[in-house]
Structure 1
Amino acid sequence: MKPSIDFVTVIVARPTESYTGEIKRIKEEVWQITDHIEEYASADECENFVRSARYKYIFIIVTVDLINDLFSLNIHQFRQVQTIFLFDPHKNSNTLHINDLRKLSYKMHEVYISSKDLIRRVEECVHECANKSDILLSSLAGCSSDTMTTNVVNNIADFAELWFPLYIDFLFELPMVDSKEEKLRFIEQCRRHFAHNPGALQLIAEFEEHYGPHGALYYYTCDGFFYRIVNRALRRQAIECIRDFRFFLLDIRNQLQLAHEKFLHNDTKVGMSKTFFRGQLMSDAELEELQNKHREGTLITTNSYLSTSECIETARIFAGKPTNGIVSILFEITAEIKDPQIKQRKPFARIGHLSKFGEVEREVLFSIGSFFKIDQIDEESSSCWIVKMTFVDEDDQNQIVTSDFRILRTCSLEMKVIKIGDLLAKHSRQGISKARHFYDLIKTSNSSEALKAACDAGRGWLALNEENVSLAIEQQQKALGLYEKLKSECDSENLTHLYITSYNCIGTCFRQMKRYRRALEYYCKADKLALKVPIDKYAMYEGYRNITSINIALTHKLLGNIDQTWELYKKILAYEMNTSTHFHGPTYLTIAQAGLQEAQIANDVHEYERHFQHWKAFLDLSLT
């Protein structure tokens, strides 16, 4: 399908007589790719258009007779120029000279002799550009703050969406071993990736020589290979690639935190709300999905940095013009200015003084993983939709909508690793393989022994999810062996949490094998550690697998010890009520459905009847 998108333009250089036939055919083919074609007879005309089209993505097809003029005017340095394709059907180009040009810019592609090959590559590039959103928004539908009950029920399906912001949070919390080493490793990977692109290799060399922590935002706003690598990896949620430029994300956060402190001016005070604007094009399908998920209080999070402007006119330019299947969107984002003395986890700030583009666009950049609450979606006119949002400070305890994420992130690094793997496994069809890759990445990197042990524990739970109980027990026994070696060097409470999760996993393996006495042995080992894991919505989401008291109660019921089971559940309720004032819907629901799963997976009628009688007896006790 032809991507009729206003911000994608292909420029075709008007040729000399010797190229007329070939270029005419190329133009006809390009018309099949996009409606937006410009044609110029000189490099000067081309430059004038490029300068005037700051907010477009431009691809240039040029012949040998004009290539030198283009480079002499430095057209390749404009950020809006994405790729330069050199068409040379008569093989008139000098290979050495072309290689010199490619060293000047990574945007210079190889020489195309065949118009068929050229068109195929142009189509690939244009479609890639047309299909990618400027910013990927993950909608966390169901985070409504209407009532706690609605929050509990609806949020059960949404925790998996939080794996990526939790992963970014994890990267920020990891101790920095050696930023120079991380930078060099990233540079070497870039060199391997761009081994056949002299222009990119030149930029990589410059980056290696000149980059420093105080220049992160400058490089991020530059039109270079680095900006594209970072955004592509973030949009694709490429775990390994993002890990490799962690030093860069940390440098940007530090710069944003410092810049955020300067937000207070004569016209800005603590507690004041400011409005920022962002314009972008969006497909009808994306808008429809956003509308379907939206209700008052819906939460979304960004997978990369969100660029906005204090100037609505600038945002409207970026919003472009709607075309077939594409709509213009204007985001209006309201954010409260907090006390600059309080360090923000997800800062936003004016970056004009740090950007290559200066103050022209009055740019305000929001951090990766920022949370926003959708307040309203309206059709302003036939040509533009307005999406009104509020920036949500995830540390604000009054914000109920981010309480789920606070639950997830409030734990040790080791438990965070296990949670990320668990959420990844539930996130998509290939989730378990992605979770394994994540654990392998942590184990093979320069991580602490405690984190590596946590990966073994996480892999044990993955194996149990796949009903491979023997592998699950093997992984957890391996993890337990590592815990023993870590007793002298690891925080005791963090280590206790790891012991509890491994013991619970092994106990659940034996429970699934219907070796209930053996299961109780491991559950009791976890219980003796006397560290209570809170029964919150995340515990409910993962099936209470790590709540030792519930596991013990459930196993006793399977053994027919109904009175003992009910007494245990009453103690759980009393403990939860005494230690927290929050609504205990998850705990009540756990008791209500206790044992149903075992009845459903019974092997025969007699076993089903036995489970049913236990369930009935349990209900009789709970109702008296």
Structure 2
Amino acid sequence: MAFPEINVNDAYNLLDEQEEEKTLFINSIIWLDKEINTVKENQQSQQQLRNLFPDVQIISFEAVFDSEEYVRQHNQDSLLVIVSGRLAQTLIPDIHDFNHIQSIYIYCRNQDPEKTWTSDFAKIRGIFTEMHQLVTKIELDQGRIEKTRESVSIVAFPVNMEGDSSLSVNGDLLQFQLLLDFLRKMDWMVCDEEDFLAFWTKKLSDTPNNISILNGFMNEYSPDRALWWYTRPTFFYGALNKALRQQNIETLLHMRFFINDIYDQLASLQQFQPHSKIRAYRGQLISVEELTGLEQSINHLVLMKSFFSTTTNRDLALFVLGDTAQQFERWRTRSIIPLKRVLFVIDADPSNTDNILPFADIGTNSYFPEEQETLFMAGCIFRISETRYDESEQIHLVTLELCSADAETKALLDGRKKHFGNDNSLITLGHILEETGRYDLSKTCYLKALDQLLNHKAPCFDERNIAVCYNSLGNIAELTKDYQNSLEWYKKGLEKYEETLPAGHKFIADSYRSIGLAYGRIGDKTRAFESLEKALSILRTNHGTIHASVAACLHAMGSIYLMVDDIHEVSNKAFELLHEALDIRQKILVKNDPAISSTLFNIGSVHRALRQFDEALLFYERSLNLKLKFFPESHPEVVKTYYTMEAVWKEKGDNEKASEYASKALRCHTHFLVLQHPNIIGIEHEIHSAASTDTDN
């Protein structure tokens, strides 16, 4: 079973989510230089810093005494100090050890710097003789510190019973990898470039500086500069990773070329870099609760849903931690969440390329080549091998080992890729989103694809795809319990298939099956069985008896019997049809195919209708285990199964067990929904009633 997703760091979600601009961990930049107001270069550099960090005060001083007084009086702020070489040795010893001093930079204009004395002061970030180097260094350092507040979406799973280091099948992994694979394959057209520009222009309309960056991107971007743009401090970095963490499909669709180009650059760099094992580091501030979750997940495996930035320079990773926790607490006065300093230690072997996504040292392609950054592709899998507290450095260490998916996961992933084929259209995206439970988004994809087809705007026109859209919209209507509309969509799909396909085609039979199920949903059992019998006849005549569509038809017929008023009269027939469907599916489908879990669930429902509760729970449990390997845990099918098992336990009179499964349903739902959502309120009601109601069944 999947463990809850760990968002490192959810503590920062208390920040204003509207704020997309760069936000520093400093309140003010203190600049001490006798010539601060007379040298033009100093004034230009101050303006440069204001442009980079518009929310930060820049306060200039000509006298050491005045600057030192300001530092002492503003001990609740977090300060960055720039000091001239002539005044550095006077000021720095007096202020260096103040907790609210984050970093110190020394600027020696027109003179050779004296470096020997600076080694005693850890907060000195460098001595510079060129102003542009100093500004670049500040931008780089603050970018590193900014990453400590960046959420890292981690989904944790236990390993299998044998303790293998490869990942056991899990729906979150499967669906995330399918989505990434699709985005990478989806064609990029000229009109997409126009959509990209319009999309970001609208989102950035209130930030002129970002509009300027966007225009520069449109004029200068090329695939071989993807990593340069990714590492440059712009809105692209944060927006892309946020979209990956939240699976914001609209943003990901507009940025899919960027994801693809980053992947290709990482793969190319990895190919030409040494194949020896590496150790990389990442400093991160996380909440106490998240740290506890990591400590309780030793030997569990984690899926990184966003790009994972690390450095091979341990000192750099430690720098961003520094006193940052205390500074951030001081700066973010709204927070009541204590933050812990964590150093992730990442071990990776580039020679092991089996099912592992690319990672590479991107220094030669980075906006900041001196950062020594190793970037891991979104979707990488790691094992948590160790967590411990280092007393001397006062940091928590979490060691991660790069892993691969196991054969079972790969087989299921390859099976789904084969199922979707090479089609990289909106229809396929709709199918993937449908499998993840994003029914509203999948419906949008189908409607947009249908509009393109009907108006001959589709990249590759195939009239049969109109029928595919109709049937897919019927599926969504059925899944959202809009049964009358689902029937109408299915009929339109059948009509289009009969216009474009030979009479015995499988798709025509599948349409009759869908229509039969829709009739059953609205209570017309006679027409339901007529349509299903017609579908079964077409299939057996043209495709034999051992076929996936035959199994689907038998499954549908067994399901219709579940809808009759007295199940006792037809239970034997329902069992016969469902078990026959199960036998076929287990013979010809990969063992974790969701169709198998669906049949297991319906067999359980027949047992439940007969009040054979123990047998029902056994089949529901088998169905649940398969669903968790295919669907994300928050998927409606998983939630429905938890809810159904809660109801059966309540019917058995075991309110404690009922409450346990209702709680699981609530936990899965809250993964994506806020507590005020009506579905959440309904499930909460079930928790309370299951725990408090003593029923005599």
* Distance in 1 of aligned mates of 2:306 and 2:572: 53
Question: Structure 1 regions of 5+ residues with no counterpart?
Answer: 18-23, 57-69, 83-125, 426-430, 536-543, 601-624
1:191-230 to structure 2, matched below 5 A, reads: 191-195=201-205, 197-230=207-240
Secondary structure of 1:287's aligned partner? helix
Name stretches of at least 5 consecutive residues in structure 2 with no aligned partner. Answer: 1-10, 16-22, 29-56, 63-68, 89-100, 108-122, 124-130, 330-337, 453-457, 612-697
Alpha-carbon distance in structure 2 between the residues aligned to 1:80 and 1:565: 67
One-letter amino acid of the counterpart of residue 363, structure 2: G
2:306 match: 304
Aligned pairs for 1:132-147 (under 5 A) are: 133-141=149-157, 144-146=159-161
The correspondence for 1:262, drawn from 260, 272, 288, is 272
Is 1:476 paired with 2:490? yes
Deviations 1:330-369 (A, max 9, x none): 22333343477x8x673222212211222x3432211122
Deviation per residue, 1:100-122 (Å, 9 max, x gap): xxxxxxxxxxxxxxxxxxxxxxx
Give the structure 1 partner of residue 26 of structure 2. Answer: 9
SS at match of 2:365: coil
Q: Secondary structure at the match of 1:506?
A: helix
Tell whether the 8 Å contact from 1:424 to 1:435 is kept in structure 2 after alignment: no
Which range moved further: 408-417 or 383-392?
408-417
* 8 A Cα contact 2:554 2:580, kept in partner: no
Q: CA deviation at 1:146?
A: 1.7
Aligned to 1:604: none
Whether the 8 Å CA contact 2:81–2:103 is kept in 1: the answer is: no
1:335 to 2:335 alignment: no
Match of 1:392 among 388, 394, 403: 403
Structure 2 equivalent of residue 356 of structure 1: 367
Distance 1:372 1:440, change over 3 A: farther
- Secondary structure of the 2:265 match is helix
CA separation of 1:391 and 1:217: change in aligned 2, threshold 3 A: same
Q: CA deviation at 1:135?
A: 4.3
Q: Partner of 2:661 in structure 1?
A: none
- Structure 1 residues 569, 263: closer, same or farther in 2, change over 3 A? same
Residue correspondence of structure 1 range 41-56 to structure 2 within 5 A: 49=104
Separation in structure 1 between the aligned mates of residue 345 and residue 547 of structure 2, nearest angstrom? 38
- What is the letter of the counterpart of residue 521 of structure 2? Q
Q: Distance in 2 between matches of 1:231 and 1:458?
A: 30
The letter for the 2-side match of 1:78 is: E
The verdict on how the C-alpha distance between 1:500 and 1:417 changes in structure 2, with shifts beyond 3 A counting, is farther
Q: Matches of residues 81-100 of structure 1 in structure 2 within 5 Å?
A: none
Secondary structure of the residue aligned to 2:344 is: strand
Show the counterpart of 1:238: 248
Q: For 1:223 and 1:423, locate their aligned partners in 2 and report how far apart those are by CA, in whole Å.
A: 35
**1:450-470 CA distance string (max 9 Å, x none):** 777555444433322332211
1:525, distance to aligned residue in structure 2 (A): 5.2
Report the counterpart of residue 603 of structure 1 in structure 2.
none
Q: Is the 8 A contact 1:504 1:545 kept in 2?
A: no
Say whether the 8 Å CA contact 1:333–1:390 is kept in structure 2. Answer: yes
- AA aligned to 1:317 is F
The CA RMSD over aligned residues, in Å, is 5.3
Cα drift, residue 222 of structure 1: 1.4
Write the deviation string for residues 198-249 of structure 1: whole angstroms up to 9, x where unpaired: 4333333332222211111111111234334433433443211221121221
Aligned length: 493
Is 1:371 paired with 2:378? no
Name the CA shift for 1:345/1:593 in 2 (closer, same or farther; >3 Å). Answer: same
Counterpart of 1:417 in structure 2 is 429
Question: For the residues of structure 1 that align with 2:245 and 2:402, how far apart are their CA atoms?
Answer: 20
Q: Structure 2: how far apart are the matches of 1:162 and 1:252?
A: 21
Which of 504, 512, 517 in structure 1 is aligned with 2:526?
517
The aligned residue for residue 683 of structure 2 is none
- Asked whether 1:286 is paired with 2:290, we answer yes
* Residues 1:552 and 2:557 aligned together: yes
The separation in 2 between residues aligned to 1:139 and 1:263, in whole angstroms, is 29
Contact 1:47–1:75 (CA<8 Å) still a contact in 2? no
Q: Give distance in 1, aligned partners of 2:432 and 2:546.
A: 18
Per the alignment, residue 339 of structure 2 pairs with 326
Give the whole-Å Cα distance in 1 for the aligned partners of 2:384 and 2:560: 44
Contact 1:162 1:423 survives alignment (8 Å): no
Contact 2:284 2:341 in 1 (8 A): yes
| Conservation of the 8 A alpha-carbon contact between 2:486 and 2:518 | yes
Q: Secondary structure at the match of 1:304?
A: coil
> What's the CA shift string for 1:363-387, capped at 9, x where partnerless?
2211122233334444444832333
Instruction: Give the superposition deviation at 1:278.
Output: 2.4
> Whole-Å Cα distance in 2 between the matches of residues 223 and 532 of structure 1?
60
Match of 1:464 in 2: 478
1:240–1:167 CA distance, 2 compared to 1 (3 A): same
- Bigger mean CA offset, 34-43 vs 241-250: 34-43
